[in-house]
Structure 1
Amino acid sequence: MTRRIAPLIPALRRYARALMKNPAMADDLVQDCLERAISRWHQHRVDGNTRTWMFTILHNLAVNNWQQARFRGVHVTIDDVGDAAFSHPPQQDENLHLQDVMAALEQLPDDQRSVVLLVSVEDLSYADAAKVLGVPVGTVMSRLSRGRERLHQILAGAANGTVENPHGPALRRVK
């Protein structure tokens, strides 16, 4: 069991950090995922894909956290506020681009962000991403297409110095 789970931990942490936007919450999410996988290992199919199963557990836990957060509000520790408010270290161009991409990912709706991360970052197939998310493959493909297009728009706007409309593109009347 541990031989099959341990190699997945870095990918699970990467996906969790991108989903949760908070390293501590992401680590807690991965811990919960590992605990759930180990305690329910008997439910894992022998012929099943362990990677897909683990990402499914992680994603479902993240969705539960998002739903709970809507009722509770956002929790911010004093340490997080202090670091963000008072530290401005010099950034390299590479770090700035990475920050732009991460900020653009955060602007995507949760369903699009999840698909983009699973397919583009974690290299899951469309079929595996569909299993993780519990949606049809066609839905994965359309969300991925919309998510990539939206990322492109956001990043193009950031490169031009324009501010993106958080509600999406404005509608235009065509006669």
Structure 2
Amino acid sequence: MSDMLHRIEPVIPALRRYARALVRNHAAADDLVQDCLERAVSRWDQRREDGNLRSWLFAILHNLAINQFRRTATRGQHVTIDEAHEHEIGQNAVQEQTMIYQEALSKLARLPDEQRAVLLLIAVEDLTYAEAAKALNIPVGTVMSRLSRARERLQQEIEKPADNPMGNVVQLRSKP
């Protein structure tokens, strides 16, 4: 049991980052990681000894997230106003860095799920193509093509002019 904990523990921060990027909610991401760890511990004897532990954990997390997305799409997301945190209800960004961060997340969210997952695993979590392919249960060539398309599409999103270039500037009419 101690060996298992020593092997899993260093991967937890990366799992949390990936989960937060997927579900875009800190509490839901933490729940997803907890479910992933619970499943990994309960099925520890089912993993391959020669396999990569990191990609196995990411595969578990990814599959749990997909199942959660499917349930949410079927049932819809329900949050009572009493359970919602103030930051989840929404507030305007007060610092430029926060606005840039939100814009980057927004552009990332516009990517198709398959492309976003590959991009996050490769670029953020620093998995190899083979590890990402194993985690997503797809061929390495598919990982490479999805990554290429994701990078290209993200570049297009970044270069695209803003929807409202004037921001919140109010146009005033002058008197004739």
TM-score of the superposition, structure 1-length normalised? 0.85
- Measured in 2, the distance between the counterparts of 1:103 and 1:96 equals 10
Q: What is the RMSD computed on CA atoms of the aligned residues?
A: 1.7
**Letter of the 1:27 counterpart:** D
CA spacing shift, 1:86–1:122, aligned 2, 3 Å: closer
The structure richer in helix per residue is: 1
| 1:8 matched to 2:15 | no
Pairing 1:113–2:116 present: yes
1:83 aligns with 2:87: yes
User: What is the alpha-carbon distance in structure 2 between the residues aligned to residue 114 and residue 3 of structure 1?
Assistant: 27
1:170 is aligned to none
Conserved? CA contact 1:100–1:155, under 8 Å: no
State the 1:85 CA deviation: 4.6
**CA deviation after TM superposition for structure 1 residue 27, in Å:** 0.6
SS at match of 1:152: helix
- 1:29 and 1:84, CA in 2 relative to 1: closer, same or farther beyond 3 A? closer
Structure 1 Cα separation of the partners of residues 31 and 41 of structure 2: 15
Matched-pair contact (CA < 8 Å) for 2:93–2:99: no
| Residue matched to 2:130 | 127
Deviation (angstroms), 1:84 = 4.6
Q: Which letter maps to 2:56?
A: W
User: Deviation digits for residues 130-160 of structure 1, max 9, x if unmatched?
Assistant: 1011111111111111111111111222xx3
Gaps of 5+ in 2: 165-176
Query: Given the alignment, which residue of 16, 22, 25 partners 1:22?
Result: 25
Among candidates 59, 64, 76, match of residue 61 of structure 1:
64
Q: CA–CA distance in 1 between the matches of 2:27 and 2:122?
A: 24
Answering whether residue 101 of structure 2 is matched by residue 137 of structure 1, we say no
Q: 1: distance between equivalents of 2:90 and 2:153?
A: 31
* Residue 96 (1) aligns with residue 99 (2): yes
In structure 2, the residue matched to 1:162 is: 163
Aligned residues: 160
Query: Which has the greater radius of gyration?
Result: 2
- Quote the offset at 1:22 in angstroms: 1.1
Cα 1:153/1:80, change in 2 over 3 Å:
farther
Q: Partners of 1:91 and 1:63 in 2: how far apart?
A: 33
Tell me if 1:52 matches 2:68. no
For 2:98 and 2:86, the matched residues in 1 are separated by 21
Separation in structure 2 between the aligned mates of residue 110 and residue 66 of structure 1, nearest angstrom: 11
Distance in structure 1 (CA, Å) of the matches to 2:90 and 2:50? 51
Per the alignment, residue 40 of structure 1 pairs with: 43
How far off is 1:161 after superposition?
1.8
